[in-house]
């Protein structure tokens, strides 16, 4: 992971998800009004996951611990900063998901659930101001998308590394030989 | 010095049969140690590919209960590629013509591989 340029990854992810300084400021402005409602979002999120048999398997005996981590992350969406250190944390989260063999669709599925559960909280925080709610929803879409993009980046890298390890173990090739082979064809 | 001696072994090997078109000695990590290859043939690719094939061959031989690997032979419509382990650390690769008499080449390659083993 040391060769990942998190500053560049942050820039790339922000450009892809439209996470502008204005949106970042809005998320932080919303923080005080939104944060009190986030524990409910976390509860509903895990309640929904437990209803999905394929997902429930990964939660057995870990829900309370996962909820605490999730609540902390959810709060960070409305406190910031949304910088390279945040990207690095999300990257590590992606790595953890790879290590527990979480299917890749769980990340996008989970983010969709979270976004959906956040809407009523945002509506409450925006005092039924439709314009502000639209802006808030757009900002949340951007930060959730940003987080997802970074996690998928690490997921992809982690999966490739995992597949390569399998290949090396099966073929009996050393990593040095594989690197030399790749270098010979990378010219 | 060692490279010269390895090249000398290859030169002698190539001279034993007109069917041998090229030969090379490669570390098991895929790095070229000595080579007498036709112009235009990429040494790095020959090296890495030979070591990779030998590694796969070794694995296959073990997995399919054929014992320790001796050789990997590949036949294409333009000729043969023969890879032979030389000690634990090197591979001797020979490129031969399509109508080559393999029995004789096997013998010469075996001798050459033994000579390489003493040097690496």
- The per-residue DSSP string of B13-54 comes to HHHH-TTEEEEEEEETTS-EEEEE--TT--HHHHHHHHHHHH
Contact residues on chain A for B59, CB-CB shorter than 8 A: 170-172
Is the ipTM above a cut-off of 0.95?
A: no
The predicted pLDDT at position A187 comes to: 63
Rounded to a whole number of angstroms, the distance from the CA of B30 to the nearest CA of chain A is 6
Taking CB atoms and an 8 Å limit, are A181 and B52 in contact across chains? yes
Q: Which residue of A has its CA nearest to B30?
A: A177
Q: Do the beta carbons of residue A184 and residue A56 sit within 8 Å?
A: no
B29 to chain A, any CB pair closer than 8 A? The answer is yes
DSSP string, A135-152: HHHHHHHHHHHHHHHHHH
pLDDT lower than 50: segments of chain A: 1
Contact residues on chain B for A170, CB-CB shorter than 8 A: 59
B55 to chain A, any CB pair closer than 8 A? The answer is yes
The sheet with strand B90-96 has its strands ordered as B32-36, B20-27, B90-96, B79-86, B71-76
Domain locations along chain A: 6-154
The predicted pLDDT at position B42 comes to: 93
Taking CB atoms and an 8 Å limit, are B59 and A184 in contact across chains? no
Contact residues on chain B for A172, CB-CB shorter than 8 A: 55-56, 58-59
The predicted pLDDT at position A2 comes to: 53
Taking CB atoms and an 8 Å limit, are A184 and B51 in contact across chains? no
The predicted pLDDT at position A49 comes to: 94
Query: What's the mean pLDDT in B84-101?
Result: 94
| Residue whose entry in the numeric block shows the structure tokens 């429930």 | A56
Taking CB atoms and an 8 Å limit, are A171 and B28 in contact across chains? no
B58 to chain A, any CB pair closer than 8 A? The answer is yes
Query: What's the mean pLDDT in B42-59?
Result: 93
Percent of chain A with pLDDT over 90: 76
Q: Indicate whether B88 pLDDT > 90.
A: no
The predicted pLDDT at position A159 comes to: 81
The predicted pLDDT at position B28 comes to: 93
Q: How many domains does chain B have?
A: 1
pLDDT in tens, B51-71: 999 999 999 999 999 999 999
Q: Do the beta carbons of residue B27 and residue B90 sit within 8 Å?
A: yes
Q: Which residue of A has its CA nearest to B56?
A: A171
User: Average model confidence (pLDDT) for chain B?
Assistant: 94
Domain A6-154 has CATH 1.10.490.10: yes
Would you say the C-alpha torsion A10, A14, A17, A19 has a positive or negative sign? positive
Parent domain of B62: 2-119
Contact residues on chain B for A177, CB-CB shorter than 8 A: 28-30, 48, 51-52, 55
| Residue whose entry in the numeric block shows the structure tokens 């049969």 | B17
The predicted pLDDT at position B3 comes to: 87
Domain holding B54: CATH number?
A: 3.30.450.30
């Amino acid at each position: 992971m040391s060769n990942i340029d998190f500053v560049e990854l942050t820039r790339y992810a922000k450009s892809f998800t439209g996470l502008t300084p204005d949106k970042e400021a809005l998320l932080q402005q919303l923080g005080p009004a939104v944060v009190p409602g986030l524990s409910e979002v976390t509860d509903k999120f895990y309640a929904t996951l437990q209803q999905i048999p394929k997902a429930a398997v990964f939660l057995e005996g870990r829900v309370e611990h996962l909820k605490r981590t999730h609540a902390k992350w959810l709060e960070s969406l409305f406190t910031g900063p949304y910088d390279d250190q945040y990207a690095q944390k999300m990257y590590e989260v992606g790595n953890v998901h790879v290590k527990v063999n979480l299917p890749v669709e769980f990340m996008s599925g989970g983010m969709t659930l979270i976004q959906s559960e956040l809407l009523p909280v945002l509506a409450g925080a925006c005092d039924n101001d439709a314009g502000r709610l639209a802006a808030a929803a757009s900002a949340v879409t951007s930060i959730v998308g940003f987080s997802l993009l970074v996690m998928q980046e690490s997921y992809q890298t982690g999966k490739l590394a995992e597949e390569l390890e399998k290949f090396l173990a099966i073929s009996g090739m050393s990593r040095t030989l594989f690197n030399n082979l790749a270098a010979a064809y990378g010219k | 010095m060692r490279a010269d001696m390895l090249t000398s072994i290859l030169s002698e090997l190539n001279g034993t049969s007109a069917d041998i078109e090229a030969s090379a000695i490669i570390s098991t990590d895929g790095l070229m140690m000595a080579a007498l290859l036709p112009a235009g043939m990429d040494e790095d690719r020959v090296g890495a590919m030979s070591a990779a094939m030998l590694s796969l061959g070794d694995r296959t031989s073990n997995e399919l209960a054929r014992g320790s690997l001796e050789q990997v032979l590949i036949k294409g419509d333009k000729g043969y590629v023969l890879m032979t382990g030389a000690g634990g650390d090197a591979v001797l690769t020979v490129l031969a013509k399509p109508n080559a008499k393999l029995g004789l080449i096997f013998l010469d390659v075996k001798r050459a591989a033994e000579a390489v083993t003493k040097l690496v």
